[in-house]
Amino acid sequence: MKPEVTQILLQQALREHPSDILELASNGYHVRRKPSSYPPKFLPHNSFEDVDDDGLSFWDQRTIYVEPHVRNLCQTPAKLAYWLKEHGQLRSKWLPIQATHMLFNTCAFIVLSGSVMHGDVWSKWRAAEKPDNWKIMTKVEHTKRTAEYLALLEKQNPKGKPKPKINEATISAIARPAALAMNVEVVPDYKEATAQPKAKRKRNRRKGDKADQSTDHLEANDTSTAAEVAEDDEPKSKRRG
């Protein structure tokens, strides 16, 4: 929790506002996590090494990427998890939320209890677009889009300096990219980024501009010369001299 709280304040908060996740021990002093919020009973003993046929790890199957409606919400993991739980209409199979990991100030990974890789269930939940104004996708989709974006940058600037590869052993398991299936093709197919830029609109000319009037006069009368137009623009007193 940020900022860190004292044991006494935490006890007082739990007495005044009971939690679905935390509880006080029988002695009234120690705070512990309720057994009902523990990881599911079917959790493999070696969950971080357990992978499916596509090479996707057990926890990556249960991880989603989020960009909340509030820019700095990810800086407070407890608030982030609470907001998703209260306003996200999550399926019961995905609760409780197991962990959160901030990537940047505006985005984070959230680990759920159930798999989000079932396409029909996932698509129906995302159709509700809850919480409001949140961007959410599976970790697999986030990894795929990130790879496509990097491929697009390389295509647009092939001579650019390549970014140094990150040593995945030095970062936490939740922050590592998900494994993509063998049949997933990473293609930089962003039409918005690759489309030809639109032609610039010509600025509307002001009617009172003499220079523009001269230009318009030339365009209207192909037989007129620049010298004739200049002579027409000269003051009459100068011509008499």
Q: What pLDDT sits at residue 187?
A: 62
- Band of residue 222 on the pLDDT scale cut at 50, 70, 90: very low
Q: What is the mean pLDDT of the chain?
A: 77
Of these ranges, 135-139, 171-175, 195-199, 233-237, the one predicted with the greatest mean pLDDT is 135-139
Segments of 55-146 assigned E as strands: 63-67, 99-104, 107-111, 135-138
**More reliable by pLDDT, 138 or 206:** 138
The answer to whether 59 and 47 are in contact (CB under 8 A) is yes
Q: What is the mean pLDDT of residues 170-197?
A: 65
For the record, the structure tokens of 140 come out as 């697999």
The answer to whether 100 and 147 are in contact (CB under 8 A) is no
Q: What pLDDT sits at residue 68?
A: 96
For residue 22, list its beta bridge partners. 33
pTM (predicted TM-score): 0.64
CA distance 140 to 228: 71
Q: What pLDDT sits at residue 223?
A: 43
Instruction: Quick: pLDDT tens for 96-127.
Output: 898 999 999 999 999 999 999 999 999 999 99
Instruction: Quick: pLDDT tens for 25-81.
Output: 888 888 888 877 776 667 777 887 888 887 888 999 999 999 999 988 999 998 999
For the record, the structure tokens of 60 come out as 């990556």
**More reliable by pLDDT, 168 or 137:** 137
CA distance 141 to 149: 12
Helices 210-220 and 226-233: crossing angle in degrees, nearest 10, is 140
